[in-house]
């Protein structure tokens, strides 16, 4: 007899970063993430209460080989917002803070609304309102 499994979503992501503290501040400031565990100076675990992000410092030996190019194996990650006005608010906050905007605000044909920005390690992040996604 096969046990029925239920996936609860992609709720955890781990990123290798050049500066854990700078990346921590970025995700706290723009995405309201909070530290849930910081075992040492090279690792920090952040959460919104639903989604979890681990930031791992690249070693000094790896740093010289850590390539920040536009050709990145991770196309983008995304944060789902509760409304188009929340997307707008985050766009204006990111712009005010000097964050690199990769793609400007756009109303999509499917009714979604988004923009893309870049984190300190050039990971592209889509900030998205998607009307078909129910948050609770």
Mean pLDDT of 120-125: 92
Computed over every residue of the chain, the mean pLDDT equals 90
State whether 57 and 116 are in the same domain.
no
Angle of CA points 96, 52, 109, to nearest 5°: 60
Q: Judge whether 3 lies within some domain.
A: no
Instruction: For residues 75 and 123, give the distance between their C-alpha atoms in angstroms, rounded to a whole number.
Output: 8
Please answer whether residues 50 and 11 qualify as being in contact, where contact means their C-beta atoms are separated by less than 8 angstroms.
yes
Q: Judge whether 56 lies within some domain.
A: yes
- Rounded to whole angstroms, the maximal C-alpha distance in the chain is 57
Mean pLDDT of 16-32: 95
Encoded tokens for 70: 């536009």
Tell the residue number behind the tokens 């923009």, with chain if given. Answer: 115
State whether 57 and 76 are in the same domain.
no
Q: Which domain holds residue 121?
A: 70-136
The 10s digit of each residue's pLDDT in 57-111 is 988 887 777 666 666 667 899 999 999 999 999 999 999 999 999 999 999 999 9
Q: Judge whether 48 lies within some domain.
A: yes
Helix ranges restricted to H, the chain: 20-31, 60-63, 84-96
CATH number at residue 124: 3.10.180.10
Please answer whether residues 92 and 75 qualify as being in contact, where contact means their C-beta atoms are separated by less than 8 angstroms.
no
Share of the chain above pLDDT 70, in %: 90
Q: Taking 90 as the threshold, does the pLDDT of residue 52 lie above it? A: yes
The pTM (predicted TM-score) of the whole model is 0.85
Q: Judge whether 22 lies within some domain.
A: yes
Number of domains in the chain: 2
């Amino acid at each position: 007899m096969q046990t029925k499994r239920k996936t609860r979503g992609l709720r955890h992501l781990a990123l290798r970063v050049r500066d854990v503290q700078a990346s921590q501040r970025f995700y706290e400031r723009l995405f309201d993430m909070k530290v849930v565990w910081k075992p040492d100076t090279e690792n920090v675990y952040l959460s919104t209460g639903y989604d979890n992000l681990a930031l791992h410092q690249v070693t000094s030996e790896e740093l010289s080989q850590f390539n920040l190019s536009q050709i990145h194996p991770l196309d983008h990650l995304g944060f789902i917002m509760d409304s188009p006005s929340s997307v707008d608010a985050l766009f204006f906050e990111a712009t005010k803070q000097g964050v690199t905007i990769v793609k400007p605000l756009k109303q999509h044909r499917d009714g979604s609304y988004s923009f893309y920005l870049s984190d300190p390690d050039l990971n592209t992040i889509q900030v998205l309102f998607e009307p078909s996604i129910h948050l609770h």
